[in-house]
A and B are shown apart, each in its own frame.
Chain A
C-alpha cells in the first residue's frame, strides 16, 4: 500500500463522509474550542459527565480537512463511556503513534487508521486537533470550570 493509501484509509474516509456524534449536548458539563491556525480547522466539543465522572455524552461541531474530521469522529466514539483519565491514556497513545513510536495496536481500535498520518508531518496537527481539544476539556473540567472562553491551538502541540 502506498503512503497515500495509508493516509486515507477506508475508515478515515468513512468517518469523514459520515461523521459520528455531530451536534450539541444541551446540558453539557463542559464546552471548549480548538483550532489549527495553519489549516483554519476548528472544533467545538461539548461533553456531559455522569455522577461517576464518566463521559456520558460528547458531541462535536466545526469544520476541517478529512484527517481532522475523521479523527474527531473516531475520538468521540472512543471516549464515550470512559473517564477523562482513561481518555487521556488513549490520547497519549495517539501522540506516541504520531511521533512514530510503538503502540498496542489492538487497544487502539479504529484509531490505528490514523497511523499513516505520522508519515506526513504537516498533517499530524490535523489528527491531533481533536485530542488537544479533549485535553483542554479535561483540564477545564478538573479545574471546576465549564470551559467558557477556553480555546486551544495545535500550535501549542509540542
Chain B
C-alpha cells in the first residue's frame, strides 16, 4: 500500500491554516506534533459523554471513564509491546517519567560512589534529574562521549561498564543530532554488569516501532504530545517487578490502599505511581493517538520520514554555508539541526516564520551538547508523518531568501 501523505494531512485541521497568506509549513514536530481528527474527536467525546472521575464513582459514567482510561493503558502497553498493562504508568510527560525513576528508584537504590552513565547527547530532561539524584546520594555521573559524526563512541565508554555502574540513561534518538542510538546493544552491555537501563523515548517512540521486550530495557519514558496525542500525558514503562519493588513517587489519593493518621499502605502497580486525579481525557486521547499511528503503521511512518530527511539532506546541502550536525541520513531520524553561514538561528527562525515556515531555533534543551558542538544555537527542522517534499522545498527556498535578506555574503565580519 502506498503512503498517501496528502490524504493523511486531511486528518490534521491545524495544517490547513495559512500563515500571512502562505500555507503553514510546520517543521517542529520534534517539539510537539499536531493532532489528528480522531484524537480531537476522542477528547470531545470524553468531555461530552464520559467525564467523571476514575476508579471511584459508583455510577455509569464514572465506570465508563474508568474503562476508557484503563483501555488506553492497555493500548499503550500493546504499542510498545509491554508484557502487561500494569507496566504502564501514566505521567504528565517523559520528563516526569524520568524524574519518577530518579526519585523513586534512584533514592532507594543508588548510593555514594555508584555510577549513573548518561550520554553527551541527552536532553536536559534526561540529565538534570540525574544531577539531582547525584547531589542527593553522592553518586557519580559519567558520559558516553560522541564521535566526530555525532554518534555514541561506545568503545570509549567501555571502561564505565563495571560493577560500580547502577544505571544507564540514554536517548533512543537525539533531538538535536537526530542520531538513532544502538540501545539494544547498550542494554546488553549494561545487563552484563547488572546495571539497569532507562531509555528516553521522547523522540524515538513516535517515529520508530518500539518493542520493550525485544529491546530488553528496564524503563522507557515518552510523551504523548510528540506522537499525535494531547499535552499533559506521558508514559513510564517499567518492568513489573521493578515497579513493584519501588516506593511511591508522589503521595495522595488513588495511590493508596489504606490510610491511617500516621501511615498508609500503597495501591498496586501502576496506580501506586498515579497520585491524585490523573489526566483522564489526555490518557484516553493518547490511546486514540496510538490507534491512529498503528493504523498507518510505524514502519510506514519511519520510511516516509526517512525519505523526507534524505531529500532534505540533499537539498539543504546546496545552500551556501549549510552545516548540519549529526550523522548522515542512514543513521538518523527525521530531523536536521543546522547552522547557515554565520546567520544566527533566531534570525533564521524569525525570517522563516515570515515565510510561513515554523522551525525551532536555540539550544533545544541540550546546552551541554551545544557547548560540545562549539555552537551557541542551531536551527532545527523536524519532520513527521504529515510532512511533504514540497514543504522541504519551501524550507530551502525560505532559507535561500534569508541568506539574501541578511546579506550574509557581503557582510564584513570583524573578528577580534
Residues of A within 8 A of B (CB): 2, 4, 7-8, 13, 16-19, 22-24, 37-42, 44, 61, 63-67, 120, 122-123, 126
CB-CB contacts below 8 Å: B300-326 with A: none
Knowing A23-B416, A39-B344, A39-B346 touch, does A13 contact B376 (C-beta < 8 A)?
Answer: no
> What would 29 A/B residue contacts be, using CB atoms closer than 8 Å?
A4-B350, A4-B354, A13-B405, A16-B406, A16-B411, A17-B410, A17-B412, A18-B412, A22-B414, A22-B416, A23-B414, A23-B416, A37-B367, A38-B362, A39-B376, A40-B370, A40-B376, A40-B377, A41-B344, A63-B376, A64-B344, A65-B344, A65-B345, A66-B344, A67-B347, A120-B350, A123-B346, A123-B350, A126-B346
Q: Among the listed A13, A41, A64, which residue makes an inter-chain contact with B407, where contact means beta carbons less than 8 Å apart?
A: A13
Q: What is the bound-complex CA distance between A3 and B346, given in angstroms?
A: 16
Q: What is the bound-complex CA distance between A37 and B377, given in angstroms?
A: 10
Q: Tell me the minimal C-beta distance from B77 to chain A in angstroms.
A: 39
Q: Tell me the minimal C-beta distance from A151 to chain B in angstroms.
A: 16
**Are A65's CB and B346's CB within 8 A?**
yes
**Are B376's CB and A66's CB within 8 A?**
no
Neighbouring A residues of B411 by C-beta, 8 Å: 16-18
Q: Tell me the minimal C-beta distance from A54 to chain B in angstroms.
A: 24
Q: Is B363 an interface residue (CB 8 A)?
A: yes
Neighbouring A residues of B342 by C-beta, 8 Å: 63
Q: What is the bound-complex CA distance between A60 and B342, given in angstroms?
A: 18
Residue of A nearest to B370 (CB): A40
Q: Tell me the minimal C-beta distance from B416 to chain A in angstroms.
A: 4
Neighbouring B residues of A24 by C-beta, 8 Å: 416
Q: Tell me the minimal C-beta distance from B25 to chain A in angstroms.
A: 16
Q: What is the bound-complex CA distance between A158 and B96, given in angstroms?
A: 29
With most chain A CB atoms within 10 A of its CB, the pick from B342, B344, B350 is B344
Number of interface residues of B (CB under 8 A): 24
Q: What is the bound-complex CA distance between A72 and B239, given in angstroms?
A: 55
Chain A facing B: main interface SS: mixed
Neighbouring B residues of A122 by C-beta, 8 Å: 346
Q: What is the bound-complex CA distance between A123 and B363, given in angstroms?
A: 15
With most chain A CB atoms within 10 A of its CB, the pick from B346, B353, B412, B416 is B346
Neighbouring B residues of A40 by C-beta, 8 Å: 363, 370, 375-377
Q: A2-B20, A18-B412 are in contact. List 9 more A-B contacts (CB 8 A).
A: A4-B350, A8-B405, A17-B410, A17-B412, A39-B345, A39-B362, A40-B370, A67-B347, A123-B350
**Are A66's CB and B416's CB within 8 A?**
no
Neighbouring A residues of B353 by C-beta, 8 Å: 4
Q: Tell me the minimal C-beta distance from A28 to chain B in angstroms.
A: 13
Q: What is the bound-complex CA distance between A67 and B406, given in angstroms?
A: 11
Q: What is the bound-complex CA distance between A72 and B9, given in angstroms?
A: 45
Q: Tell me the minimal C-beta distance from A52 to chain B in angstroms.
A: 28
Neighbouring A residues of B406 by C-beta, 8 Å: 13, 16-17, 66
Neighbouring B residues of A66 by C-beta, 8 Å: 344, 347, 406
Q: What is the bound-complex CA distance between A2 and B182, given in angstroms?
A: 48
With most chain B CB atoms within 10 A of its CB, the pick from A42, A66, A123, A126 is A66
Q: What is the bound-complex CA distance between A39 and B370, given in angstroms?
A: 11
Neighbouring A residues of B376 by C-beta, 8 Å: 39-42, 63
Q: What is the bound-complex CA distance between A18 and B410, given in angstroms?
A: 10
Residue of A nearest to B376 (CB): A40
Neighbouring A residues of B346 by C-beta, 8 Å: 39, 65, 67, 122-123, 126
Q: What is the bound-complex CA distance between A19 and B405, given in angstroms?
A: 16
Residue of B nearest to A44 (CB): B416
In order of increasing CB-CB distance, the 9 nearest A-B pairs are: A40-B376, A65-B344, A61-B416, A22-B414, A4-B354, A65-B346, A17-B411, A66-B347, A40-B377
With most chain B CB atoms within 10 A of its CB, the pick from A7, A42, A44 is A7
Q: Tell me the minimal C-beta distance from B376 to chain A in angstroms.
A: 2
Q: What is the bound-complex CA distance between A147 and B405, given in angstroms?
A: 37
Q: Tell me the minimal C-beta distance from B370 to chain A in angstroms.
A: 7
**Are A7's CB and B412's CB within 8 A?**
no
Knowing A39-B376, A41-B376 touch, does A7 contact B350 (C-beta < 8 A)?
Answer: yes
Neighbouring A residues of B350 by C-beta, 8 Å: 4, 7-8, 120, 123
Residue of B nearest to A20 (CB): B414
Neighbouring B residues of A61 by C-beta, 8 Å: 416
Q: Tell me the minimal C-beta distance from A39 to chain B in angstroms.
A: 6
Q: Tell me the minimal C-beta distance from B20 to chain A in angstroms.
A: 8
With most chain B CB atoms within 10 A of its CB, the pick from A16, A39, A63, A126 is A39
Neighbouring A residues of B377 by C-beta, 8 Å: 39-40
Neighbouring A residues of B412 by C-beta, 8 Å: 17-18
With most chain A CB atoms within 10 A of its CB, the pick from B345, B347, B414 is B347
Neighbouring A residues of B345 by C-beta, 8 Å: 39, 65
Q: What is the bound-complex CA distance between A2 and B351, given in angstroms?
A: 12
Q: CB-defined interface of B338-357 with A at 8 Å, one 1/0 digit per residue?
A: 00001011110010011000
Q: What is the bound-complex CA distance between A2 and B20, given in angstroms?
A: 10
Q: What is the bound-complex CA distance between A63 and B376, given in angstroms?
A: 10
